[in-house]
Amino acid sequence: MLGPHLVLDLYGCPKEKLEDVKFIYDLLDELPEQIGMQKIMPPYVMRYVPEDDPLDWGISGVVLIAESHIAIHTWPDLNYASVDIFSCKTFNIDLAKEIIEKKLSAEKTEWEILVRGREFPINLLKRGRNATI
């Protein structure tokens, strides 16, 4: 397999955290190092307010890591956030969940792990890294 994809749904999060661009930025900025990943760019975080649905506003952010990405989307008026961590290497899933749940003060969390790249030719990738010219 290529790697795990942690998908989190966080309910009952305080609106103050979910609407705070700096708070979400800091979460994405600190999380990669905390779970053993290498950040390759600063987080990109923005507030989104659609014209047609006032409840659909929130904060969205992403940070690219050498291993893939971490993304978060919030719905402050609904006290809900979704977080995705996709990595092409294994990581401490329980630690990642614990950090995110604590930072967002979630009352309830649902999660699952998707297995990405079940037929990814990892042997070819490894062989390419060790190839001599």
In this predicted model, what pLDDT tens digit does every residue of 90-113 receive, in sequence order?
889 999 999 999 999 999 999 999
- CA distance to 7, 16, 24, 102, per residue, from 60 (Å): 15, 15, 8, 19
**How do residues 43-80 score in pLDDT, each as one tens digit?**
999 999 988 887 789 999 999 999 899 999 999 999 99
Count of other CB atoms within 10 angstroms of residue 31: 22
128 vs 56, which has greater pLDDT? 56
- Model confidence band, residue 84 (pLDDT cutoffs 50, 70, 90): very high
Which amino acid is it at 40? Answer: I
The reported pTM is 0.86
- Indicate which residues carry an active-site annotation: 68, 73, 88
Q: Domains of the chain (ranges plus CATH)?
A: 3-130 (3.60.90.10)
Count of H-run helices and E-run strands, the chain: 4, 6
3-state class percentages of the chain: helix first, strand second, coil last, to nearest 5: 35, 35, 30
